[in-house]
Amino acid sequence: MAVLRKRDVLGRYVKGEIHLLEESREIRWASEQLRKSADEFDSTKTYDIFLSHAFKDARIVKQIRKELISKGHSVYVDWVEDKQLDRNKVNKHSATVLRNRMNNCRSLIYLTSVSAEKSVWMPWELGYMDAKTSRVAVAPILEDDQNEDDFTGREYLGIYPYLDLTVDSFYIHDSAKSYVRLQPWLQGQNPSV
């Protein structure tokens, strides 16, 4: 299985940033952005991908989002698109906003990582989108010392195909020999040999 290595994604992120803050300052900056009001909430905006993630992986999320956008995909990330949401005060309104955004997305990419294992929202997002669209894929973000053959994640993640970045193109795989490019997958085509 080809996967996303944390060091590779972060390496591309560091290369592309003009001003690189230390990680704790960057997380604080992103938190501040969440607290600021969004210019105007547009409940009708649609996206190709809802990027489900743990906020502690903010740098990885920014880089994966950037790479997906560079390939022509529209990507929803809550703290980028809905800055008015406050992660410290998650409530019924926050859940409603997320549900409405998921209703306007064609798929969900689940960035699973060590940080994601602690998320209570990500499994909810995954289940919601699986029931709504059946277009759900897992993107394992492995630590440097993790072997890709040993990746299992939460047991239910094994039922979903996985996202792979190979030679500058995104693919969705069911197995090493069963895959499809991301764009046809978004349009309903399933991986095949």
The strand pairing partners of 181, in sequence order, are 171
pLDDT average, residue stretch 51-68: 93
Write out pLDDT tens, residues 93-135: 888 989 999 999 999 999 998 888 888 889 999 999 999 999 9
- What is the domain partition of the chain in residue ranges? 4-16+25-35+44-160
**Arithmetic mean of pLDDT over the chain:** 84
Write out pLDDT tens, residues 14-59: 777 766 667 777 777 666 655 554 445 577 899 999 999 999 999 9
Percent of the chain residues topping a pLDDT of 90: 46
pLDDT average, residue stretch 67-95: 87
pLDDT of the residue at 77: 95
- For residue 180, pLDDT over 90 is answered with yes
How far is Cα of residue 128 from the mean position of the Cα atoms in its chain?
A: 15
pLDDT of the residue at 171: 93
Q: What's the rounded Cα separation, in Å, for the pair 48 and 107?
A: 6
pLDDT of the residue at 143: 78
pLDDT of the residue at 21: 62
Tokens of 174: 């069911």
pLDDT of the residue at 16: 73
Q: What's the rounded Cα separation, in Å, for the pair 160 and 17?
A: 32
Half-sphere exposure of 15 (CA within 13 A, CB side): 8
More confident residue, 192 or 29: 192
Superfamily grouping for domain 4-16+25-35+44-160: Toll/interleukin-1 receptor homology (TIR) domain (3.40.50.10140)
Percent of the chain residues topping a pLDDT of 70: 83
